[in-house]
Amino acid sequence: MKILLIDDEELDVFISQKLLSLEFDTTGVSSYEQGLQWAKENHFDVVLIDYYLNKGKLGKELLKELLALKGPVFKPYLLTNYVDGHEYEGLKKDGFLAIIEKPLTLEKFKMNLQLS
């Protein structure tokens, strides 16, 4: 399974990529633009996108572009520190299968992967 991880915090990308790479083929990038460019040139099965990205962009905006580019051939998950119930429902309507709260752990990721 190939995972694309997109988070504007480079330390979060580094740690999460190392963690996920213990069991999965994982690529991490630290910007909206890098994520979109990488996705244009590569295949992935799962994408993990941070809620707030650089330059005022939101993860749901990037997901919309990824879906337009690739179609629904991957499983999208949102990474965040906090999302309230109202936002959660809206994000699921935007296409995210689940919201994974930070800090990311291998157990949280695998649990959400099994549920979707």
Assign domain 2-115 to a CATH class.
Answer: alpha beta
| The predicted structure's pLDDT at residue 72 | 95
Tell me how far the alpha carbon of residue 39 is from its chain's centroid. 12
Instruction: Please state, in angstroms and rounded to a whole number, the distance separating the CA atoms of residues 39 and 66.
Output: 7
Instruction: Please state, in angstroms and rounded to a whole number, the distance separating the CA atoms of residues 47 and 55.
Output: 20
| The predicted structure's pLDDT at residue 99 | 93
10-20 and 106-115 helices, crossing angle to 10°: 70
Instruction: Please state, in angstroms and rounded to a whole number, the distance separating the CA atoms of residues 105 and 111.
Output: 10
What single-letter amino acid sits at 103? P
| The predicted structure's pLDDT at residue 60 | 95
Q: What is the pTM of this model?
A: 0.95
Q: Average pLDDT across each block of 10 residues of the chain; the chain has 116 residues. List them in order.
A: 97 97 98 97 98 91 97 96 80 94 94 90
